Structure 1
Amino acid sequence: MAMSLTDEQPDLSIIENRPASVAHLFVSRVEQSGGDRAFGRPVGEQVEWLTWKQVDQRVRAIAAGLVSLGVEPEDRVAIESSTRLEWALVDLGIMLAGAATTTIYPTTTTDDVLHILSDSGSKVLIAEDDSQLAKFREVAPDAGEVVKVVTIDGAADGDQVITLEQLEEAGAALLAEQPDVLEQRIAGIRPEHLATLIYTSGTTGRPKGVRLPHSAWTYEAAAVDSVGLLGKDDLQFLWLPLAHVFGKVLLTLPLQIGFPTAIDGRVDKIVENLPIVKPTWMGAAPRIFEKVYGRITTMMADEGGVKAKLFGWASDVGGQAADKRAEGSSAGGLLGVKRGVADKLVLHKIRERFGGNVRFFISGSAALNPDVARWFDAMGLPILEGYGLTETSGATCVNRPYPGANVTGTVGWPLPGTEMKVAEDGEILVKGPGVMQGYRNLDEATADSLVDGWFRTGDIGEQLPTGHIRITDRKKDLFKTSNGKYVAPSTIESMFKGICPYASQLVIEGDGRKFVSALITLDEEGIKGWAEQNGMADADYRTIVTSQECRDMVQGYVDQLNGKLNRWEQIKRFIILPRDLTVEEGEITPSLKLKRKVVATKYKDELDELYVD
């Protein structure tokens, strides 16, 4: 797909001459940057760092430990853990052993843990703690080929379960006996060998194992490197689930480029960690940006008076400057002067909340609301929205951070080496080195998804004259009302989150119905501030969101939304649920995607009542 209106000149030699495997990529990085910071974790008021040499020492011990357990090339080793430093170390150890990582979210149900372990044929399981061990013990008799469990924080049992420390000790002993054992493994890894088996978190049905070879990851890292998006002087804060493809991409980039990465997957610590880490960039899902936007704007509105007016003025000036950048120009003249004043009085304080050094964020996993994106850009914190799927190794498109290249409402240009086209029915098709080898044990599903090398994404979209890609909705989510009019629910849901600062989730319903309705949930923290301003300071969440006052407030935002929609898309009736949707209840995925059909089925009776005249 041709690009246009861009100064970007990617260095294709980086892609063409990339290493044979993730293991080779890591070895090369250690040779180049041995004494530099590699991976760290926030502890107290500082980050504890490991250099690349220190990482190499631990990773080699883990890799040799896996070899000592009988792990052979391309054998699967499953990781069932939250995002933490040890996840990265173990994954790299698996790579150096020539094996393949199977990913399991720590929130995965016991039934799905059983399915993933048995379907993948994993030989070893890395379990984070005793709670994850308990899931394994519940399914152990049927867990396929698992011969050993390694726990990071849990207790060993002297038999099947050993600690990560014990694994590293076994690896050190093997390396003392066979110093070249890992060099032999690494030398045998080919680009087409399996590196990762990622089970899609799935909005419907059983998770499917996506087979991604080493060549996919080395391509992803090299393609991002080739466009100059990041440099060695950058610093990443990584909190996203490493079991998710987006997280895995962000874990591979430092191997290619050499920048340090601070890792801490505790979502409740993100705000606290940012001023400690002081990152220059960070990847996140849209929900994080929506929450920050909602919290800051409502907090300033609640302040009232001069502070609220000043914040509103500064935001407006920042937005005008952001619009100039989007057009490819800069804020000069009077606007430039006003932007400087706004920055000194207000905008820099917002940036300080994120550590003060952020050059940009990258958003992926779901659609980002354009109003939220524009607000962050106004603050001097541009968000580069990207696009990809597990089946395309996570990064297929991404916007670029220079003027005129970051087009809000699009997912940017394809990465160099990736082809994209739009089918006759509007479906986006992808071809390139990042596309999966296929689904494990699902030949029919693989054949349906891969046609002549093109992956059918299931997403509806278009290519703009500038070459940017715009995604409209999931093909399977589009529905028709009984009047024969098509509705794209994801677009409407994203719009609402940019209008209502208290919104957490909006679930659109109306397939075959005479009008569109919705289920709405509100952000539990954000709504507390509203409640205090409206005489309900001591009320619990359920009482607040089921009150008439709250419904009237939400109705006002729904009316604003409806004013932006076609008549047949407008929400005629809605229900505010007494609790938010959660991963634990199976209503959203660990990567914060809505499980639309699950939610619609769960609340079918309540939705049906909305259509009773």
Structure 2
Amino acid sequence: MAASNLLSDSLKVIPSREIPKTRCWTENAKLELNPQAGPYVWLTYREAYDAALQMGSAMRSRGVNPGERCGIYGSNCPEWIIAMEACNSQAIPYVPLYDSLGANAVEFIINHAEVSIAFVQESKIPAMLTCLPKCTSYLKRDELNCLISYLCCSAIISFGKISSSQKEEAEELGVSCFSWEEFALLGSLDCELPPKQKTDICTIMYTSGTTGEPKGVVYPMRLSWQKFSKDITCLLAVFQATEEDTYFSFLPLAHVFDQIMETYCIYKGSSIGFWGADVRYLMEDIQELKPTIFCGVPRVYERIYGGAIAKISSGGALRKALFQYAYNYKLRNLEKGLRQDEAAPRLDRLIFDKIKQGFGGRVRLLFSGAAPLSRHVEDLTESSGGCLTSIVNEFSMMGTVGVPFPTIEARLESVPEMGYDALSNVPRGEICLRGKTLFSGYFKRQDLTESALVDGWFHTGDIGEWQPNGAMKIIDRKKNIFKLSQGEYVAVENLENTYSRCPLITSIWVYGNSFESFLVAVVVPDKKALEDWAENHNVTGDFKSLCENLEARKYILDELNNTGQNHQNSAQLKGFERLKAIHLDPNPFDIERDLVTPTFKLKRPQLLKYYKDIIDRLYSEAKGTKS
């Protein structure tokens, strides 16, 4: 089952089965602060397939040919999936645009991928129109083999309606705009589908661009979704999805992780329900849909866990003690090797099933990706969303990223400059991956492709350690890039360079990890600058005591964040890149404490070990402030 005929093959088996459904909002609800959503509205596989064929045919009628690119910009919804399948039917590579990227990144991707046409969510059309004047033209040959200049993104199709003023604004830029219904009328169900080659591009997924301009990760048609789905089925064993399952679509479809999950559900004939794209009503959506499969990032599970614990604690000491007893009892049995459903069945019914009701009462399978959790899938865009995974009911894999998928080879490569030896008794080194479900390269960036793919092996930049049970544990990063708990990448060296422009400091070490959602830092302030501040604010004391002063800490924290936002030679920092708490150290980072190299580069593992208690205190203080 290739990506190009996934939906049609599923249709042969389950033509009337329900597929993407979304909540229906009443007309007046959109104007209220607390809108009341109606029931989910269903589409069948047949209806979704016919809509995809019609939209694909309409694209061809607009002169979009196989191989030319189509953008998809918006939140998860049935139209997103239908647009994707429309592209697949006509061998038109689709280019997802992250809903949170902003206009500059969207503009870059449209130009870089030479997007010919785009499907856009209604609420995103103003942002799309804003970036269109900066979209360039590109050259392609017409039927007479003459080179003609074409405007990038010459047509926009709304997921819903489009206003007359928006049409006029677009037409002034040479761009045609259509509502979803208008564009469908241009297509036909009786259309000829072009032949597809395994080497044709299926999709180009751009990374978030944290370390510079976004990179286009290329997936060819040869990527076998069926084989990838069989990998998941094999690893999930008795927990595989069926036609009776309902998947809750929450993670962005523009991200490879959710696309893989929804593809798997379509392959298995499951139903898919989309959240309403408003986090305030996330739990209401879940309660209405009552999904059996849920996919999230650790931050989501942490919020649910925190809410459950708070509710239990509010019930009194006895209720809290009973829950803790049940938790410890089940944990001990899991550690002994019992299956999840065998570890404490009576306590499940009495206590844990009440927590299950928070997911609608039917959930039986929870996936987590993008950052560590008990059952964690290592998630890189280049790895098509998953290369290693923990196995269901193997509690010993907790804290690891599990074992490789059947389609993936994994090995470690020594990193001597960091002291990691892949051939030692405890093998450690950079994780390298190879397999048919990996990407084929970076779009228009042969230089990056050659550096990332060496003899077919993708160098991830993660430092791993093989465990005795065959699982992989990530222990470090070869490159100083990491993810926060919400899945956002942080290029810490770039941030430190930006913050170092603040004239109040002499050096800074920024810290974050995949279990926290924000950053903290240890800062060495400039002695004279701090003393000048103290004099102006009538604060007395020596340099050490000034570093301990709360007002001084707040002053420098504010100035650091202002530097990140206002410096003329750097882009404004994103919200998750701003510091939430800092510690002022009067002593510079030095070689004597093994905190820097002889060339004064920061030694991050040693810094963390030295400042561990301070880092823990900063997170505790910041969370207290936030609450």
Q: How high is the TM-score relative to the length of structure 1?
A: 0.71
Structure 2 residue 41 is the aligned partner of structure 1 residue 48: yes
One-letter amino acid of the counterpart of residue 394, structure 1: G
**Which of 137, 149, 153 is the matching residue for 1:146?**
153
Alignment check: 8 A CA contact 2:103 2:127 kept:
no
One-letter amino acid of the counterpart of residue 434, structure 2: K
1:91-113 Cα deviation digits (max 9, x unpaired): 11111111011011222221111
Secondary structure class of the residue paired with 1:171: coil
1:474-497 Cα deviation digits (max 9, x unpaired): 32238999xxxxx99665x52xx5
Secondary structure class of the residue paired with 1:457: strand
Structure 2 residue 83 is the aligned partner of structure 1 residue 90: yes
Larger Rg: 2
Sort the Cα spacing of 1:131 and 1:331 in 2 relative to 1 into closer, same or farther, 3 A.
Answer: closer
**Which of 172, 184, 197 is the matching residue for 1:190?**
197
**Which of 245, 249, 269 is the matching residue for 1:238?**
249
Sort the Cα spacing of 1:26 and 1:357 in 2 relative to 1 into closer, same or farther, 3 A.
Answer: same
Task: Tell me the distance in 2 between the aligned counterparts of 1:251 and 1:340.
Answer: 31
1:111 aligns with 104
Secondary structure class of the residue paired with 1:181: coil
Q: CA RMSD in A?
A: 3.4
**Which of 446, 449, 456 is the matching residue for 1:453?**
456
1:34 aligns with 15
Structure 2 residue 196 is the aligned partner of structure 1 residue 155: no
Shift of 1:433: 0.7
1:397 aligns with 388
Q: How do 1:578-597 and structure 2 match up within 5 A?
A: none
Alignment check: 8 A CA contact 1:236 1:260 kept:
yes
Task: Tell me the distance in 1 between the aligned counterparts of 2:135 and 2:260.
Answer: 32
One-letter amino acid of the counterpart of residue 384, structure 2: S
Question: How many pairs are equivalent?
Answer: 475
Sort the Cα spacing of 1:574 and 1:612 in 2 relative to 1 into closer, same or farther, 3 A.
Answer: farther
Shift of 1:351: 0.7
Alignment check: 8 A CA contact 1:125 1:148 kept:
yes
Secondary structure class of the residue paired with 1:220: helix
Task: Tell me the distance in 1 between the aligned counterparts of 2:257 and 2:556.
Answer: 31
One-letter amino acid of the counterpart of residue 455, structure 1: F
Sort the Cα spacing of 1:321 and 1:277 in 2 relative to 1 into closer, same or farther, 3 A.
Answer: farther
Task: Tell me the distance in 2 between the aligned counterparts of 1:508 and 1:170.
Answer: 54
2:335 aligns with 323
1:413 aligns with 403
Alignment check: 8 A CA contact 2:401 2:472 kept:
yes
Shift of 1:577: 8.3
1:296-342 Cα deviation digits (max 9, x unpaired): 21332243332222222222223233333xx256797xxx6xx3443
Task: Tell me the distance in 2 between the aligned counterparts of 1:598 and 1:263.
Answer: 27
Sort the Cα spacing of 1:239 and 1:143 in 2 relative to 1 into closer, same or farther, 3 A.
Answer: farther
Task: Tell me the distance in 2 between the aligned counterparts of 1:280 and 1:600.
Answer: 32
Q: How do 1:179-578 and structure 2 match up within 5 A?
A: 179-182=190-193, 185=194, 188-216=195-223, 218=225, 219-227=227-235, 228=237, 230-232=240-242, 233-264=244-275, 266=277, 267-324=279-336, 327-328=337-338, 339-368=344-373, 373=374, 384-401=375-392, 403-404=393-394, 407-425=397-415, 426-477=429-480, 494=515, 505-509=517-521
Alignment check: 8 A CA contact 1:88 1:251 kept:
no
Shift of 1:264: 2.1
Which segments of 5 or more consecutive residues in structure 2 lack a partner in the other structure? 25-36, 138-151, 416-428, 482-491, 497-508, 526-552, 589-627
Secondary structure class of the residue paired with 2:10: helix
One-letter amino acid of the counterpart of residue 99, structure 1: I
1:165 aligns with 181
Task: Tell me the distance in 1 between the aligned counterparts of 2:572 and 2:585.
Answer: 18
One-letter amino acid of the counterpart of residue 134, structure 1: A
Sort the Cα spacing of 1:71 and 1:464 in 2 relative to 1 into closer, same or farther, 3 A.
Answer: same
Task: Tell me the distance in 2 between the aligned counterparts of 1:489 and 1:138.
Answer: 34
1:65-119 Cα deviation digits (max 9, x unpaired): 1111111112110011011121111111111111011011222221111100000
- Higher RCO (Cα < 8 Å, 6 or more apart): 1
Alignment check: 8 A CA contact 1:150 1:163 kept:
yes
Structure 2 residue 50 is the aligned partner of structure 1 residue 57: yes
1:69 aligns with 62
Secondary structure class of the residue paired with 1:216: coil
Alignment check: 8 A CA contact 1:509 1:600 kept:
no
One-letter amino acid of the counterpart of residue 112, structure 1: A
Alignment check: 8 A CA contact 2:519 2:577 kept:
no
Alignment check: 8 A CA contact 1:133 1:154 kept:
no
> Sequence identity of aligned pairs in percent?
24
Secondary structure class of the residue paired with 2:438: coil
Task: Tell me the distance in 2 between the aligned counterparts of 1:53 and 1:86.
Answer: 15
Which segments of 5 or more consecutive residues in structure 1 lack a partner in the other structure? 1-18, 374-383, 482-486, 498-504, 514-572, 587-594
Task: Tell me the distance in 2 between the aligned counterparts of 1:274 and 1:609.
Answer: 44
Shift of 1:130: 4.5
Secondary structure class of the residue paired with 1:35: coil
Sort the Cα spacing of 1:356 and 1:462 in 2 relative to 1 into closer, same or farther, 3 A.
Answer: same
Shift of 1:472: 2.0
Task: Tell me the distance in 2 between the aligned counterparts of 1:427 and 1:575.
Answer: 40
Task: Tell me the distance in 2 between the aligned counterparts of 1:441 and 1:417.
Answer: 27
Sort the Cα spacing of 1:51 and 1:395 in 2 relative to 1 into closer, same or farther, 3 A.
Answer: same
1:157-190 Cα deviation digits (max 9, x unpaired): 1741111111111113xx4xxx2423xx2xx112
One-letter amino acid of the counterpart of residue 210, structure 1: V
Task: Tell me the distance in 1 between the aligned counterparts of 2:339 and 2:160.
Answer: 52
Alignment check: 8 A CA contact 1:127 1:133 kept:
no
Sort the Cα spacing of 1:314 and 1:125 in 2 relative to 1 into closer, same or farther, 3 A.
Answer: same
Task: Tell me the distance in 2 between the aligned counterparts of 1:255 and 1:331.
Answer: 27
1:78 aligns with 71
